[in-house]
Amino acid sequence: MKKHNFNAGPSILPREVIEKTAQAVLDFNGSGLSIMEISHRAKDFQPVVDEAVALFKELLNIPEGYSVLFLGGGASLEFCMIPFNFLEKKAAYLNTGVWAKKAMKEAKAFGEVVEVASSAEATYTYIPKDYTVPADADYFHVTTNNTIYGTELHEDLDSPVPMIADMSSDIFSRPIDVSKYICIYGGAQKNLAPAGVTFVIVKNDAVGKVSRYIPTMLNYQTHIDGGSMFNTPPVLPIYAALQTLRWIKANGGVAEMQKRAKEKADMLYAEIDRNKMFRGTVTDKADRSYMNICFVMNDEYKELEADFMKFATERGMVGIKGHRSVGGFRASCYNAMPKESVQALIDCMQEFEKLH
Ligand code: PLP
């Protein structure tokens, strides 16, 4: 039976990315060695990093003066590296979910943290809009897509101070005005690569302004200077990332990714809104994520939740269980998700409705 992979992350990758990576695992560039067996300093590997960096810059229209880094540690390590490198006195954070809160927690160890707004009281079912960012903050941190709660900023915000964004789960799903940010980071395991590599886009002249000592590995300058090769980088995930970047380019770039994402999300939200058995969890429709679509059974059908899960699983749906803090269902529709899979889930919802 065909499987439809709605996992939130690690998640679906384009089939050709998996095939090309598998080929390199067996035989990298006809060398007779696996990509897992070669030095990151091998002459054949440097072009992989160089092309990945160049494609990042091209696809996201990154201005001059920024570096693209491939590091380890996940987005979670960036939660601490960000304040280590950029927080001198005060930082502003928008609390839109678990990941934003974790980022904020780390920052508190380095200076004053202003939570400009929070939707915690409503289980993060919307993104706050009414707040002021202090003009004397070193930066304003946002999570552009809240993977767990299914809310998303569809456009770059305006801010009186430079922004920093966790784009773990929506990178490459829309054009970004990178010039508004001094740093954009994320774990790659949604729209880019298998787990194991963290991408960081950092403005070179924003680094080196804090007065504290920064341990070598946690200092962005180390990785800018080392071209992501200060220590052994995650070679295999970087190779897979390059294949995804090529795939995005060949498929029309981020504007096309955005168009497809909106089309898929519109289809599924339309069914959630139409079907008497389900409702979306996000209260402000403008905040509905295109990447993670969260929904629950309506109150009168609540006891059928496990039945629907079984029904959908039997029809090939994978990974639609909602996060434990939200419950219900979450259909993650990243770039590689085909429209046919979204339609298969919609068909499931319609068939299930007919049975009740
Ligand atoms: N930020 C967001 C928005 C996420 O969705 C996740 C993981 O799902 C993380 C951060 C944590 O990423 P990592 O597991 O790479 O540390």
Q: Are 72 and 197 in contact (CB under 8 A)?
A: yes
Q: 94 - beta bridge partners?
A: 117
Token digits of residue 228:
């992501």
Q: State whether CATH 3.90.1150.10 applies to domain 252-353.
A: yes
Q: What is the pLDDT of residue 279?
A: 98
DSSP H or E stretch at residue 236: helix 235-250
Q: In angstroms, what is the span from residue 330 Cα to ligand 1's centroid?
A: 16
Residue 9 beta carbon below 6 angstroms from any ligand 1 atom:
yes
* Catalytic choice (138, 156, 190, 264): 190
Distance CA 147, CA 271 (A): 21
* Catalytic choice (138, 156, 166, 287): 166
Q: Which of 70, 7, 3 is nearest to 319 (CA)?
A: 7
Q: Burial, 207: exposed, middle or buried (Cβ in 10 Å; 0-12, 13-18, 19+)?
A: buried
Annotated binding residues: 41, 75-76, 99, 147, 166, 189, 231-232
- The verdict on whether 99 is a catalytic residue reads yes
Q: What is the pLDDT of residue 240?
A: 98
Can you state the angle between helices 253-274 and 235-250, rounded to 10 degrees? 80
Q: What is the pLDDT of residue 299?
A: 96
Q: What is the pLDDT of residue 104?
A: 98
**Entry pTM:** 0.98
ipTM value greater than 0.85: yes
Q: What is the pLDDT of residue 282?
A: 98
Distance CA 335, CA 325 (A): 25
Q: What is the pLDDT of residue 117?
A: 98
Distance CA 307, CA 314 (A): 11
Pocket-testing residue among 71, 96, 169, 173, ligand 1, by greatest number of atoms within 8 A of Cβ: 169
Distance CA 209, CA 198 (A): 23
CATH top-level class of 13-249: alpha beta
Collapsing DSSP to helix, strand or coil, 22 comes out as helix
Give the pairing type, strands 151-152 and 145-146. Answer: antiparallel
Annotated binding residues for pyridoxal 5'-phosphate: 75-76, 99, 147, 166, 189, 231-232
- The verdict on whether 180 is a catalytic residue reads no
Domain ranges of the chain: 13-249, 252-353
Q: What is the pLDDT along the chain (356 residues), one digit of tens a residue?
A: 999 999 999 999 999 999 999 999 999 999 999 999 999 998 899 999 999 999 999 999 999 999 999 999 999 999 999 999 999 999 999 999 999 999 999 999 999 999 999 999 999 999 999 999 999 999 999 999 999 999 999 999 999 999 999 999 999 999 999 999 999 999 999 999 999 999 999 999 999 999 999 999 999 999 999 999 999 999 999 999 999 999 999 999 999 999 999 999 999 999 999 999 999 999 999 999 999 999 999 999 999 999 999 999 999 999 999 999 899 999 999 999 999 999 999 999 999 999 99
Q: What is the pLDDT of residue 151?
A: 98
Q: What is the pLDDT of residue 141?
A: 99
Q: How far is CA 286 from the centre of its chain?
A: 19
- The verdict on whether 136 is a catalytic residue reads no
Residue closest by Cα to atom 4 of ligand 1 = 168
Residue 204 beta carbon below 6 angstroms from any ligand 1 atom:
no
Pocket-testing residue among 11, 76, 143, 167, ligand 1, by greatest number of atoms within 8 A of Cβ: 76
